[in-house]
Amino acid sequence: MSKTKKQLLKIAEELDWNVRDYGDTVEFSKYSDYGQDYDFCINSHNLIDELDSYIMGFDISEEAYKWLDETGHGANGAPYEMIDVYKDMENCKEMMEELLYEWKGE
């Protein structure tokens, strides 16, 4: 049986995601293990497929790079060490994978 949008968003909230439903899109935010307020926004018409697609396109290295300054250290609240920024992005991907796993009921 397919879950409704309301059921999926309830599961997200139970996993400590903050959810903002804007109708056509839904924004999710949650603090990572390193303290980053990580957020992403996906189309709400097929949340499971949209999240799966978002995760498949999530490049940990590229995301980590966005948080590094010109000397290779974390900027804008990111951890100071480059390896910790990378680990933080790994954690963000794992949080999204956990959400998808719960949505699918696996």
pLDDT of 84 over the 80 cut = yes
pLDDT band at 78 (very low <50, low <70, confident <90, very high): confident
pLDDT of 2 over the 90 cut = no
Looking at the structure of the chain, the number of domains it has is 1
Cα(83)–Cα(89) distance, integer angstroms: 10
**Amino acid letter, 16:** D
CB under 8 Å to 35, separation ≥6 — which residues? Answer: 77
Full domain range(s) for residue 96: 5-104
Confidence at residue 12, expressed as pLDDT on a 0 to 100 scale: 98
Compute the average pLDDT of residues 16-35: 95
Cα(31)–Cα(23) distance, integer angstroms: 24
Going by the DSSP 8-state scheme, the letter that residue 23 receives in this structure is S
pLDDT digits (tens, 9 = 90+) for 31-67: 999 888 899 999 998 999 999 999 999 999 999 999 9
Mean pLDDT over the full length of the chain: 94
Pick from 83, 4, 16, 101: nearest CA to 44? 4
Among all chains, which residue has been given the structure tokens 């497929």? 49
